[in-house]
Amino acid sequence: MIIVRTDQDDFTYDIHSLVKAFYPAEDVIVLPPGKEAPVRQRQTESAAEVSRTMDVVIPQGLPDRKQTKDALKQGLYQRLVAETGRELPWGSLTGIRPVRIPMMMLAEGRTHAEISDHMRQTYFCSEKKARLAIEIAERERSILQEADYTAGYSLYVGIPFCPTTCLYCSFASYPVKKCHDQIAPYLSALFRELTETAALFAGRKLYTVYLGGGTPTALEPVELEQVISKIKSTFDLSSCREFTVEAGRPDSITEEKLAVLRAYGVDRISVNPQTFSQKTLDLIGRNHTVAQTEEAYALARRMGFSNINMDLILGLPGENTEDVSHTMERIRALSPDDVTVHSLAIKRASRLKIEMDSYRQYQMENTSEQMEIAESVCREIGRTPYYLYRQKNMAGNFENVGYAAPGKAGIYNILMMEEVGDIAACGAGTVSKRVFPDGREEGTLTSSSEVAQSRDGLPRAKLEGRIERCDTVKDLDQYISRIGEMIERKRELFGTEKNL
């Protein structure tokens, strides 16, 4: 455990994220003046499990909060580099949206060289990552300028059922067989929420729909059809540019379900291998074979799907560079339209975190070499990077990157990540976002660690809209019994006029 004492009750989140980035395996506690470690940690502290303590002084006399934070993180980053002898690919940037820096600077008319200098000098970003962020920002801008997404909105619908629960999962996901009796009441509550949401957005253009979860194709064909036909009959899809369904788990995909998706005009699906190593799939509880992934993909192609995404994870337990090379060679052979390369993130609510002691024997490391293998193969098959985000506790401190063939980029992914348009999210464990046109001020966002992350490292720019969010409960029974309250939360968020 590392205990960090600071002289102010401010920037504790930033300090925590940066120290944790250097010491991912350690518990890090940041204690502002007058605060003591919680009892459990005090016991650990007295049991001499504290590997070290640090004092961090917040810089004084700088003109604003942003400059104070930059100076604090610069000093702390250099100190941690000196201590560990290690630099981080994204330098002192610990937020989830590093691409927003070049996005905003491009909008201000800055050149690539100026942006790269800023990212390297202010945040100690590597040249390679600065270049990647700029390339993605340019691509996002060209995709987003085709329509006025700020006036329209996107719809996310969550189906929180999966065949089994993956080891690393922290999403709303319940084993479909065990929860079978809850599916009908869940769908009935969801349909109420969809009806009310459509009424709130009447007259506005719906640009993208994303049916995710969970795994929507874990539902029976008839249930899947009910969900999609409900969306189609409730919302005006005449301006919809993209309808994605996460058919993520290959063991949930059947010809009958894909036929439903085709019949209703779903134009983008995901078939997610995560890895093409069977020993890893068995270890992470995916409960399907590599052959099933390839068969599901081939079936989808035969049935005419022309935009198929495949999600991969680097840094899975026990995987090494050879496993990653093997996975990427299968990707080369299959040539999906999109490839999303994730770095394993160990989430607090995942089984992997909870049962970590059982998995300590496995290496869980992503390396620059593995990231480069994945990137090279994607580029060699003509898939270029179009969106990027980072998460807490990622293997190797890297990033997640979506690569796509020309014209196949997932528009919803960009809108969601860059927070440039409203997202109406329905279903258990979902988060709706409303982007207001007035400038975002410090402290105006709703609380949560996600908000703190989104503020992190970003220059305050006029074009950055203020964002408010509302969520729904993750628990199935709670969602069903409190659906009226979930709808009311959405009314409060979206029910007032927005001056566009």
Q: Among 144-152, 165-173, 338-346, 393-401, which window interacts with ligand SF4 (CB under 6 A)?
A: 165-173
Nearest CA to 445 among 481, 428, 410, 470? 470
Percentages of the chain per state (helix, strand, coil), in multiples of 5 = 45, 20, 40
Selected binder of ligand SF4 within 20, 100, 249, 257 (CB under 6 A)? 249
| 166 lines the binding site for ligand SF4 (CB under 6 A) | yes
- 118 φ, ψ (degrees, to nearest 5): -60, -45
Q: Among 208-216, 261-269, 326-334, 486-494, which window interacts with ligand SF4 (CB under 6 A)?
A: 208-216
| 374 lines the binding site for ligand SF4 (CB under 6 A) | no
| 155 lines the binding site for ligand SF4 (CB under 6 A) | no
Question: From the centroid of its chain, how far is CA 337?
Answer: 20
CA within 13 Å, CB half, 57: 3
| 167 lines the binding site for ligand SF4 (CB under 6 A) | no
Distances (CA, A) of 254 to 261, 293, 300, 420: 11, 12, 9, 35
| 250 lines the binding site for ligand SF4 (CB under 6 A) | no
Q: Is 54 left (phi over 0), alpha (psi -120 to 50) or beta?
A: beta
CB of 170 to ligand SF4, least distance (A): 8
CB of 306 to ligand SF4, least distance (A): 23
CA-based radius of gyration for the chain: 23
Would you say 139 or 249 has its CB closer to ligand SF4? 249
- DSSP, collapsed to helix, strand or coil, labels residue 396 as helix
- Which residues within the stretch 169-188 sit at the binding site for ligand SF4 (CB under 6 A)? 169, 171, 173
Task: Specify the DSSP element, H or E, that contains 365.
Answer: none
| 162 lines the binding site for ligand SF4 (CB under 6 A) | yes
Would you say 173 or 366 has its CB closer to ligand SF4? 173
Question: Do β-strands 384-389 and 174-175 pair in parallel, antiparallel, or remain unpaired?
Answer: unpaired
| 215 lines the binding site for ligand SF4 (CB under 6 A) | yes
| 280 lines the binding site for ligand SF4 (CB under 6 A) | no
Question: What are the contacts of 114-121 at 24+ separation with CB within 8 A?
Answer: 119/91, 120/91
| 270 lines the binding site for ligand SF4 (CB under 6 A) | no
Would you say 311 or 399 has its CB closer to ligand SF4? 311
Selected binder of ligand SF4 within 44, 165, 367, 391 (CB under 6 A)? 165
| 214 lines the binding site for ligand SF4 (CB under 6 A) | yes
Site residues (vs ligand SF4, CB under 6 A): 162, 165-166, 169, 171, 173, 213-215, 248-249
